Amino acid sequence: MSGVSTDVPVVEVRGIGKSYGPVNALAGVSTTVSAGQVTCVLGDNGAGKSTFIKMLAGAHTPSSGELLVDGDPVTFSSPRAALDAGIATVYQDLAVVPLMPVWRNFFLGSELTTGWGPLRRLDVKRMKQITYTELANMGIDLRDVNQPIGTLSGGERQCVAIARAVYFGARVLILDEPTAALGVKQSGVVLKYIARARDRGLGVVFITHNPHHAYPVGDRFLLLNRGTSIGNFEKNEISLSQLTSMMAGGAELDSLAHELQREIGEDSPVVQEVVREAEQSRRVEGAGERSASSPTASA
């Protein structure tokens, strides 16, 4: 089901971390992204997911740890540098111009031209043709590439962004919560294109807080909670129900307890109960996961 993986991951992070001044947003995170595989990054609000991908995407410089591409240590000085290394990122807000046709958005910033000197102009015909073909290759059946991209559904727009990254030669595709704002049916469509990008040999980094979206397409699962890694599992090391309970159980209760402590105060009996429950659920998970989690710390 999952694609081929070569020995050396396209991207590897070792003990990576990021502080914003005194705020420790992320620390000690390790995982790998292989060609033809999907690495899922799961975590609740504020877990550090966006911070993590911004480092892969070259938007932020890590404060600690190592980033390797094809086994070699790299430092990205800009998003352009990450893109040149083949790492493309589709952000949740999708930088599209709603009133522009689909084909214009597809080539935005990389327009094809024809002719020379004063006769140089946009090669509209070829751009439309390529957009149509590339979308069709990804199995996206758009009636008309002239329609404004704003008329597409959220799911379709995500799919156009994925097809675009594939066409422009991405080796690694990072998707920041592509299914967060979508209903069940559209989420399914986006998951299908994630699988298709994987089958075309890309390494995909799929950020989500929904284990039910992650599990069917994922080969590897990195779980973040409040800025630390709570596990980096291969699919055969974790079941969907374990993943769900790790996400919904301890992690979520932990965050909730944290929020409540801040908002209501530690002394409230309700807050103390949530804290107790979070601790208990962590103990239960600890007992079940211990054998799986310790050796996978992916040294």
Ligand X SMILES: Nc1ncnc2c1ncn2[C@@H]1O[C@H](COP(=O)(O)OP(=O)(O)OP(=O)(O)O)[C@@H](O)[C@H]1O
Residue 43 Cβ vs Mg ion, minimum distance, rounded to whole Å: 9
Of 138 and 173, CB closest to ligand X? 173
Of 49 and 128, CB closest to Mg ion? 49
Residue bearing tokens 């890590």: 62
Of 142 and 251, CB closest to Mg ion? 251
Which of Mg ion, ligand X, none has residue 23 at its interface (CB below 5 to 8 Å by kind)?
ligand X
Which of ligand X, Mg ion, none has residue 136 at its interface (CB below 5 to 8 Å by kind)?
none
Query: Which one-letter DSSP state was computed for residue 99?
Result: T
Residue 176 Cβ vs Mg ion, minimum distance, rounded to whole Å: 6
Of 229 and 296, CB closest to Mg ion? 229
Indicate the SS3 state at residue 33: strand
Query: Which one-letter DSSP state was computed for residue 148?
Result: B
Residue 143 Cβ vs ligand X, minimum distance, rounded to whole Å: 34
Closest CA to 131 of 143, 118, 145: 145
Angstrom CA distances, 102 to 95, 122, 140, 166, 180, stand at 13, 15, 12, 16, 22
User: Which span sits near Mg ion by CB under 5 A: 16-24, 49-57, 101-109, 122-130?
Assistant: 49-57
Which of Mg ion, ligand X, none has residue 20 at its interface (CB below 5 to 8 Å by kind)?
ligand X
Residue 208 Cβ vs ligand X, minimum distance, rounded to whole Å: 10
User: How many Å apart are CA 54 and CA 60, to the nearest integer?
Assistant: 5
Residues contributing to the site for ligand X (CB under 6 A): 20, 23, 25, 43, 45-51
Which of Mg ion, ligand X, none has residue 45 at its interface (CB below 5 to 8 Å by kind)?
ligand X
Closest CA to 179 of 200, 158, 163, 153: 158
Work out whether 50 is an interface residue with Mg ion (CB under 5 A).
Answer: yes
Q: Are strands 220-225 and 228-234 parallel, antiparallel or unpaired?
A: antiparallel
Counting Cα atoms < 13 Å in the Cβ hemisphere of 187 gives: 17
Work out whether 208 is an interface residue with Mg ion (CB under 5 A).
Answer: no
User: How many Å apart are CA 246 and CA 86, to the nearest integer?
Assistant: 32
Residue 54 Cβ vs ligand X, minimum distance, rounded to whole Å: 8
Which of ligand X, Mg ion, none has residue 101 at its interface (CB below 5 to 8 Å by kind)?
none
Of 48 and 218, CB closest to Mg ion? 48
Q: Applying CB under 5 A, what is the total number of residues that bind Mg ion? A: 2
Tokens matching residue 80: 């352009």
User: How many Å apart are CA 181 and CA 187, to the nearest integer?
Assistant: 9
Residue 265 Cβ vs ligand X, minimum distance, rounded to whole Å: 20
Give 8: exposed, middle or buried? Use CB within 10 Å, 0-12, 13-18, 19+.
Answer: middle
Residue 135 Cβ vs ligand X, minimum distance, rounded to whole Å: 29
The single-letter code of the amino acid at 267 is D
Which of ligand X, Mg ion, none has residue 77 at its interface (CB below 5 to 8 Å by kind)?
none
Judged by the rule CB under 5 A, the positions of this chain that interact with Mg ion are: 49-50
